[in-house]
DNA sequence: CGGCTAGTTGACTTCATTCAACGCTGGTGG
DNA sequence: CCACCAGCGTTGAATGAAGTCAACTAGCCG
């Protein structure tokens, strides 16, 4: 993917495309409930939650918008309300590597913001996205005052560590087809049959998230037709999730 | 690497090989200072440190000993004093994948222990190793009482996240030789010349940590002779660290 | 309409793995 | 003391999985 191009973000990092698109109050009252139910907030006392809630800001982005930039000081803790955000790292030569993708309810930069460090990755919207952001210093202070918040943040970080370890395991021990199968399984309810799902982001992004080239993903999808996977644009049909699991197993025998 | 073998650890997890090998007091008094200076403890108040120090236990392991086992409940927070510990994941089919290696000063299971979760990886000594362990419930309580400890643990977790992201970036974006070069660079002081170093663990373990087979690592070492790298057993000679950096860059041009 | 971007497909290349044989070293037991 | 073996590492030849390059299609937006 396009190397060495000068870095020209479409909007300045942290400046949303159209903050004012929806009336603030209506959005907030409903979103506040959603927020309260999210992992980072659900274990907090009402008091701690209110303290944070006072300073939250809702933003909305479109595909390609940069939300935080690698190297910048972390000013905000961000929670995804809707859409998907990809974390990437840009090496000295301009090569961009996708590290991880975050979806609804997941938190970005929570530890780095609380500790006052710099971002080590860039975060970019993969499509229309809504987030909520809280000033780092507010969260940091609240974490000092309320151990429950510090533990909730720790819990988020811990979950992130597991997710990254999963990714490393997949990259080291699984073939392209196995990773694609795992990804497809993540779109299906367990043991379901005749699942109809939608790809959450473009195939290019899916490929990068699985450590593949787009062409390889395309070929993989084609191969997986024989195990009951049909891809049509963004639409996915899986005949039987258990067959996919068996196929992952089967492919292991040959490795 | 040997798949599907029945899992027969040499010692029971958590039971050290020879706890009593050295007199406890002498070991402790010296080690306590070391401990105090380590990242997890250095920012703590004396009071908090003392609370933890009361319940620490020193252990020593030999190569192959299992220290924590995947799936078990986390009972201890572990800090490495000496040696290297490899974290692995064992898949359903028995395939073992090396996820990460921890060295001196690094902490294992800190978040998982504080949160009361189960280990998601197995930890095994790669050679003679000394650790210190603290009961999970003591640390968890202390973290609730003293926000500085919670933040110190968060800081450790955050560092771990960076390290894992580095690993993912390397696996996705770099070739075998580039990863090997990076590893060699990590053994050298920055910009140094005529470095003489020692491989920290066996080549088999190095290979696994870089996501390579042992044979591939061996070939890579052979190729890297032309950029001034000489490997003789565990001894490493690097003529010029900057040349290694340039070589990583150079290899990028062809990718 | 032309010009994008996203995705597919084919032919070819290359990097890493696999399989197998072999070398070295250190320990153990006859 | 030597013979043998196990563990660790190296090397060669063959294989295969994924990447590269390039041509092409389909949909979309101005």
Under a CB-based contact definition with an 8 Å cutoff, are residues A236 and A201 in contact?
A: no
Tell me if chain A has a CB within 8 Å of the CB of B64: no
Under a CB-based contact definition with an 8 Å cutoff, are residues A110 and A123 in contact?
A: no
Under a CB-based contact definition with an 8 Å cutoff, are residues A155 and A41 in contact?
A: no
Give distance CA B94 / C1' D9 (Å): 25
pLDDT in tens, B40-50: 999 999 999 99
Comparing CB atoms, the residue among B115, B150, B211 nearest residue A158 is B115
Give burial (CB, 10 Å; 0-12/13-18/19+) of A225.
Answer: exposed
Tell me if chain B has a CB within 8 Å of the CB of A153: yes
How far apart CA A14 and CA A11 sit, in angstroms, is 8
How many residues are given for chain B?
255
Comparing CB atoms, the residue among B145, B155, B160 nearest residue A161 is B160
Inspect the interface and report whether the beta carbons of B168 and A92 lie closer than 8 Å: no
pLDDT in tens, A179-238: 999 999 999 999 999 999 999 999 999 999 999 999 999 999 999 999 999 999 999 999
Quote the minimal CA–CA distance from A172 to chain B in Å: 6
State the pLDDT at residue B92. Answer: 83
Read off the tokens for B110.
């800190």
pLDDT band at B27 (very low <50, low <70, confident <90, very high): low
* CATH 1.10.10.10 describes domain B174-252: yes
pLDDT in tens, B215-230: 999 999 999 999 999 9
Topology classification of domain B20-171: Jelly Rolls (2.60.120)
Read off the tokens for B15.
């039971």
How far apart CA A80 and CA B28 sit, in angstroms, is 47
pLDDT in tens, B145-157: 999 999 999 999 9
Inspect the interface and report whether the beta carbons of B150 and A165 lie closer than 8 Å: no
Q: For chain A, what are the domain ranges?
A: 20-171, 174-252
Nearest nucleic acid nucleotide to A254, CA to C1' distance: C18
Inspect the interface and report whether the beta carbons of B111 and A147 lie closer than 8 Å: no
pLDDT in tens, A209-218: 999 999 999 9
Interface test with B, best of A70, A77, A150 (most B CBs within 10 A): A150
Which chain A residue lies closest to B209 (C-alpha atoms)? Answer: A172
Q: Which residue, chain included where needed, has tokens 């078990």?
A: B72
Under a CB-based contact definition with an 8 Å cutoff, are residues B151 and B194 in contact?
A: no
How far apart CA A8 and CA A69 sit, in angstroms, is 12
Instruction: For A69-181, list the strands marked E by DSSP.
Output: 76-82, 85-90, 96-102, 107-108, 122-125, 129-135
Comparing CB atoms, the residue among B99, B147, B173 nearest residue A168 is B99
Number of A:B CB contacts under 8 A? 129
Quote the minimal CA–CA distance from A189 to chain B in Å: 20
Under a CB-based contact definition with an 8 Å cutoff, are residues A241 and A191 in contact?
A: yes
Q: Specify which residue's alpha carbon is closest to the C1' of nucleotide D19.
A: A213
Phi/psi of residue B13, nearest 5 degrees:
-60, 135
Inspect the interface and report whether the beta carbons of A99 and B211 lie closer than 8 Å: no
pLDDT in tens, A73-104: 999 999 999 999 999 999 888 889 999 999 99
CB of A221 within 7 Å of some strand C atom = yes
Q: Which residues of B touch A155 (CB under 8 A)?
A: 111, 115
* B14-23: long-range pairs with CB below 8 Å, 24+: B14/B67, B14/B68, B14/B75, B14/B76, B16/B59, B16/B60, B16/B61, B16/B65, B17/B60, B17/B61, B17/B62, B17/B65, B18/B60, B19/B58, B19/B59, B19/B60, B21/B60, B22/B60
Residues 66-105 of A with CB under 8 A from B: 87, 89, 91-93, 95, 97-100
Quote the minimal CA–CA distance from A191 to chain B in Å: 17
DSSP A226: G
Under a CB-based contact definition with an 8 Å cutoff, are residues A185 and A195 in contact?
A: no
Quote the minimal CA–CA distance from A127 to chain B in Å: 23
């Amino acid at each position: 993917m396009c190397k060495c191009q000068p870095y020209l973000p479409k909007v300045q990092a942290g400046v949303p495309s159209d903050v004012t698109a929806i009336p603030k109050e209506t959005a907030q009252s409903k979103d506040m409930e959603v927020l309260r139910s999210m992992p980072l907030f659900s274990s907090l006392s009402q008091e701690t939650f209110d303290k944070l809630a006072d300073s939250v800001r809702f933003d909305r982005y479109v595909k390609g918008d940069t939300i935080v930039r690698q190297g910048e000081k972390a000013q905000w803790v961000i929670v995804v309300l809707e859409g998907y955000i990809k974390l990437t790292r840009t090496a000295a030569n301009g090569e961009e590597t996708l590290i991880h993708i975050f979806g609804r309810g997941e938190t970005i930069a929570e530890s780095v913001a609380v500790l006052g460090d710099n971002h080590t990755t860039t975060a970019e919207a993969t499509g229309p996205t809504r987030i909520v952001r809280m000033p780092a210093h507010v969260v940091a202070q609240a974490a000092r005052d309320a151990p429950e918040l510090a533990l909730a943040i720790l819990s988020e970080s811990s979950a992130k560590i597991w997710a990254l370890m999963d990714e490393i395991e997949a990259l080291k021990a699984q073939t392209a087809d196995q990773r694609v199968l795992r990804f497809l399984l993540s779109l299906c309810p367990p043991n379901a049959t005749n699942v109809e799902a939608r790809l959450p982001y473009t195939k290019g992004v899916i490929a990068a998230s699985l450590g593949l080239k787009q062409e390889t993903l395309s070929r993989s999808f084609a191969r997986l037709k024989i195990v009951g996977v049909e891809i049509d644009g963004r639409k996915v049909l899986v005949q039987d999730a258990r067959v996919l699991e068996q196929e992952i197993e089967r492919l292991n025998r040959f490795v």
